[in-house]
């Protein structure tokens, strides 16, 4: 079930991440926002997410590489 763990949003554009957070809030879902792929990979080493919304074009490690590592 999606409500057991937060939804990880990996997005470097503030407007996009704020929009995603607000949409999820209307559904009473908790979210965590990371701004780049490396942050997401490190976060996933010690945390679990119900779902990951991953931007493909990120600074440093892009979304595809971050997804492979996760």
Q: Is the pLDDT of residue 3 over 80?
A: no
- Of residues 3 and 34, the one with the higher pLDDT is 34
pLDDT one-digit tens code per residue, 47-69: 999 999 999 999 999 999 999 99
- Of residues 39 and 4, the one with the higher pLDDT is 39
Whether the pTM exceeds 0.85: the reply is yes
What is the average pLDDT across 4-16? 96
**Confidence at residue 2, expressed as pLDDT on a 0 to 100 scale:** 63
Distances (CA, A) of 37 to 4, 23, 28, 50, 61: 23, 22, 25, 17, 5
């Amino acid at each position: 079930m999606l409500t057991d763990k937060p939804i990880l949003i990996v997005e470097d554009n503030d407007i996009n991440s704020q929009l995603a957070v607000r949409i999820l809030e209307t559904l009473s879902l908790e979210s965590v926002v990371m701004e780049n792929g490396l942050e997401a990979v490190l976060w996933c080493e010690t945390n679990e997410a119900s779902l990951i919304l991953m931007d493909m074009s990120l600074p440093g490690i892009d979304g595809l590489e971050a997804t492979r590592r996760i």
